[in-house]
């Protein structure tokens, strides 16, 4: 059974940093591109960033580019999202997702065809 478990969310102040983790089980993460998505209250889920299975290419939404960094440790079957200079508008539930052999850019497309989703971790940024 495949599971993606996010952790690392919490309540922080504007300007602070957080690192989210996405621990995978039931699959070998090195064949999967990992995407990060978020959903704020009353809004649709949106793409945040991704890191590809091959050579670690990355893609980011404009709203987080330069502040967020995706990484992965295939030996630990875990992916990460480092979030710096957090803003109140970053408040959302954050989800990791994976797709076999996808491109980093492809994860951000509406028709990405995600294989598996995590259940999310909540990030709250106070002003």
pLDDT tens across the length of the chain (127 residues)? 999 999 999 999 999 999 999 999 999 999 999 999 999 999 999 999 999 998 899 999 999 999 999 999 999 999 999 999 999 999 999 999 999 999 999 999 988 899 999 999 999 999 9
CA-based nearest residue to 47, from 1, 121, 127, 107:
107
pLDDT of residue 90: 98
Collapsing DSSP to helix, strand or coil, 7 comes out as strand
pLDDT of residue 70: 98
Q: Which residues contact 97 (CB under 8 A, 6 or more apart)?
A: 4, 34, 35, 36, 37, 107, 114, 115, 116, 117, 118
pLDDT of residue 101: 93
The alpha carbon of residue 44 and the mean position of all alpha carbons in its chain are separated, in whole angstroms, by: 16
pLDDT of residue 35: 98
Query: Looking at the DSSP assignment, which residues form a beta bridge with residue 46?
Result: 38
Burial (CB < 10 A; 0-12, 13-18, 19+), residue 35, is buried
Q: Which structure tokens are listed for 77?
A: 């079957």
């Amino acid at each position: 059974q495949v599971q993606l478990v996010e952790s690392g969310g919490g309540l922080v102040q504007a300007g602070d940093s957080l690192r989210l983790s996405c621990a995978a089980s039931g699959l070998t993460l090195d064949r999967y591109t990992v995407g990060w998505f978020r959903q704020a209250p009353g809004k649709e889920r949106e793409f945040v960033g991704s890191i590809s299975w091959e050579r670690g290419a990355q893609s980011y939404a404009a709203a987080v580019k330069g502040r967020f960094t995706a990484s992965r440790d295939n030996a630990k079957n875990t992916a990460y999202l480092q979030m710096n200079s957090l803003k109140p508008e970053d408040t959302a539930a954050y989800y990791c997702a994976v797709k076999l052999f996808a491109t980093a850019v492809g994860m951000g497309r509406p028709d990405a065809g995600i294989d598996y989703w995590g259940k999310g971790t909540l990030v709250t940024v106070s002003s």
